[in-house]
Amino acid sequence: MTAPGAVNSACGTLYVVATPIGNLEDMTPRAVRILREVALVAAEDTRHSARLMQHFGIGTPLAACHEHNERDQGGRFLARLQAGEDVALISDAGTPLISDPGFHLVRQARQAGVRVVPVPGACALVAALSAAGLPSDRFAFEGFLPAKTAGRQARLQALQREPRTLLFYEAPHRLLDCLADMVAVFGPQRPAVLARELTKTFETLKDAPLGELHAWVAADANQQRGECVLLIGGWQAPEDADELDAEALRVLELLLDELPLKRAAALAAQITGARKNLLYQAALERKV
Ligand code: SAM
């Protein structure tokens, strides 16, 4: 029995290995070495990964670890790890667990005291953010939105006043509908970037206000193909907004019960997107 959080040195190591998102030159030498050295590679799709392994001359056996069998098969990988063998986890592209399987296996392994080691590399959201030119100091990755308009709009509504840069993964056949919903919820002027086919031949990074971006994609069927990340600039309070809305004041009131004035105003600004100096002023007035 391993104490919570402790590593059992009798166990092998689970390596979580990133693979390219299109350009095979993005495979790191470390990833190749690890995939060669482990006893078993747990892969989202063994046929897909067999091609990658063949390209790099890696002969390690592959076993399926996808979203449908991950919970049940986790025990199988865990048994190998507990027998002292090293196992690598890969997905079809990019970093496992990022909108890809692996979470249950990693959690089970850590709970069992298995050492889990990340082997970083390509990840579409990080690649997109690094080149999009939108604020990257704070961002929120939202993964895939619901497939149907009602669910999608509801999720977007909840993010309408999110001040951080928003990142979404989207399937090509849903891109236009998704953009239409974003225009409806965020408005046509919100800054946006479409990052398509990153690291591949037809890589495109197009930035434009949402309304223009939607029209640009609608007018060119080529832009509706391939893989894409959508980035949306965070909500900014209008410059001339000199009044706080009821929600901002409600959040401020709650925080003031628990926190010092300056901290409460800063947090209320983060949560609601309202201007910090206005909240600070309102907090001062409430305290006197
Ligand atoms: N684990 C992967 C990662 O680290 O980015 C993501 C896997 S997720 C199932 C696949 C989605 O990632 C695609 O639908 C697309 O939104 C995004 N994606 C993957 N490769 C991409 C690329 N080359 N260019 C743009 N987006 C990409």
- Summarised one tens digit per residue, pLDDT across range 2-55 is 676 788 999 999 999 999 999 999 999 999 999 999 999 999 999 999 999 999
Q: Where are the domains of the chain?
A: 13-122, 125-232, 246-287
Asked whether the beta carbons of 199 and 127 are under 8 A apart, the reply is yes
141 three-class SS: strand
- Summarised one tens digit per residue, pLDDT across range 110-158 is 999 999 999 999 999 999 999 999 999 999 999 999 999 999 999 999 9
* Cα–Cα distance for residue pair 149/177, rounded to 1 Å: 8
| Predicted local confidence at residue 285, as pLDDT | 75
Q: Which of 16, 17, 19, 21 to mutate to test the pocket of ligand 1 (most atoms within 8 A of CB)?
A: 21
- The residues pairing with 192 across neighbouring beta strands, listed in sequence order, are 208, 232
47 three-class SS: helix
Mean pLDDT of the chain: 93
The least confident of 54-68, 218-232, 269-283 is: 269-283
Q: Whose CA is nearest to atom 11 of ligand 1?
A: 169
Asked whether the beta carbons of 163 and 267 are under 8 A apart, the reply is no
Q: Whose CA is nearest to atom 25 of ligand 1?
A: 228
Cα 258 to Cα 91, 254, 268: the distances in Å are 44, 7, 12
Q: What's the CA-to-centroid distance between 229 and ligand 1, angstroms?
A: 7
Question: Is pLDDT larger for residue 4 or for residue 221?
Answer: 221
| Predicted local confidence at residue 238, as pLDDT | 66
- Asked if residue 10 has its Cβ within 6 Å of ligand 1, the reply is no
* Cα–Cα distance for residue pair 183/41, rounded to 1 Å: 43
Its CATH class, for the domain covering 13-122, is alpha beta
62 three-class SS: strand
- Asked if residue 227 has its Cβ within 6 Å of ligand 1, the reply is yes
DSSP annotation of 189: T
Asked whether the beta carbons of 139 and 129 are under 8 A apart, the reply is yes
Mean per-residue pLDDT, 62-66: 92
The contacts of residue 260 (CB under 8 Å, 6+ apart) are: none
- Asked if residue 230 has its Cβ within 6 Å of ligand 1, the reply is no
* Cα–Cα distance for residue pair 113/40, rounded to 1 Å: 19
The least confident of 7-16, 68-77, 221-230, 268-277 is: 68-77
Asked whether the beta carbons of 121 and 17 are under 8 A apart, the reply is yes
Asked whether the beta carbons of 275 and 241 are under 8 A apart, the reply is yes
Q: What's the CA-to-centroid distance between 124 and ligand 1, angstroms?
A: 5
Q: What's the CA-to-centroid distance between 157 and ligand 1, angstroms?
A: 24
| Predicted local confidence at residue 138, as pLDDT | 97
- Summarised one tens digit per residue, pLDDT across range 154-207 is 999 999 999 999 999 999 999 999 999 999 999 999 999 999 999 999 999 999
From the candidate CATH numbers 3.40.50.620, 3.20.20.70, 3.90.1300.10, 3.30.950.10, the one assigned to the domain spanning 125-232: 3.30.950.10
Mean per-residue pLDDT, 255-261: 92
Strands 228-232 and 40-43: unpaired
